[in-house]
Amino acid sequence: MNRTWQVLKPISPLAWMPLFLYTIKDSSQSAILVIFMSSLWPTLANTAFGVATIKRDYLNVAAILQLSWWRRLVTVILPAAAPAIVAGLRISIGSAWVAIVAPRMLIGGTGIGYFVWNEWNNLALTSVIFAILAIGLIGVLLDAVLGRLSRRLAYTE
Amino acid sequence: MKSFAIRRREATTMQRDRLRVIGFSALLGLAFLFLWQALTSVQPAAGVSGALAVGATAVQMLAHPVLRPRTERQGIGLQLAASLGRLGVGWVVASVVAIMGGVALGLSPTLYEP
């Protein structure tokens, strides 16, 4: 991937938070934007890689058949790049779930991050540990759903 | 074409492997819980709660997922649902944008240099 795009990738999604808070002035929309930023780059990089490494034969056949750009996208490009795209989606949902705890610790409201911080303020450590376990369990479930999807979309050339 | 006997043997081998994986996972989990409880009861001054205490909290929390009794605070189910909702919105929008952008990048030799 081009260096220019690479610059944006290593930025912690939380670092965007002040900027979002200042520009949209709404904490819950800012929290969603943090999730957006954290799940954007893995999918973007993986999709670009998957599309760039599609076998040239497939694209040539599509060109010979004179498919419209929409049909080329839906019937050739997306299915051929699907395994790479789903791999990106899987990494994305993992990093988004990791990023979801922190914004709510900062801004409060409802959410599991707020819950953890609130229970810490109550010194209810059993609740904190339980919440940590629950976060881990849900992360595993989210990953398993996308793992199943990736097995379904896999193909051999 | 594989014979019926061979296929059946393969199926039972797979089943046995699966059982072995599940058995080992359960064993490791139990060992972890036991160690956790043992360490926290030997050294209670460290302040970390034991497995049994966390288990009791878990049962109580899961029994009231929406509203916690007495405190009138939102329960764990509602908090998790709020987080999952935000995750869903952010992730779906980001994925649509990322897939469109990724296809554009991947198809363009000038923007994408491997």
pLDDT tens for B1-16 read 567 777 777 778 888 8
- Distance between CA atoms of residues A151 and B82, nearest Å: 29
Which one of B79, B89, B92, B110 would you mutate to disrupt binding with A, by most A Cβ within 10 Å of its Cβ?
Answer: B79
* Chain B residues with CB-CB distance to A143 below 8 A: none
pTM of the model: 0.81
- Distance between CA atoms of residues B59 and B65, nearest Å: 10
* Chain A residues with CB-CB distance to B71 below 8 A: none
The beta-carbon neighbor of B78 closest among A31, A88, A110 is A110
The number of C-alpha atoms within 13 Å of A80 and in the hemisphere containing its C-beta is 23
The minimum CA-CA distance between A134 and chain B, rounded to whole Å, is 9
Scanning A31-70 for CB atoms below 8 A from B yields: 31-54
The beta-carbon neighbor of A115 closest among B57, B79, B99 is B79
- 10 Å Cβ neighbour count for B11? 10
Identify the H or E element spanning A27.
helix A27-52
The number of C-alpha atoms within 13 Å of A90 and in the hemisphere containing its C-beta is 17
Per residue in A114-149, pLDDT tens?
Answer: 888 888 888 888 888 888 999 999 999 999 999 999
Q: Compute φ and ψ for B67, nearest 5 degrees.
A: -130, 130
Exposure pattern of B40-79 as b/e (b: 16+ CB <10 Å)?
Answer: beeeeeeeebbbebbeebbeebeeeeeebeeeeebbbebb
A126–chain B Cβ distance below 8 A for any pair: yes
Per residue in A4-46, pLDDT tens?
Answer: 777 777 788 888 888 888 888 888 888 888 899 989 989 998 9
The beta-carbon neighbor of B49 closest among A35, A104, A129 is A129
**Chain B residue nearest residue A47, CA to CA:** B102
> Chain-wide mean pLDDT for chain A?
87
Q: Is A116 in contact with A103 (CB distance < 8 Å)?
A: no
Q: Which amino acid appears at position A144 of this protein?
A: A
The beta-carbon neighbor of B94 closest among A36, A112, A126 is A36
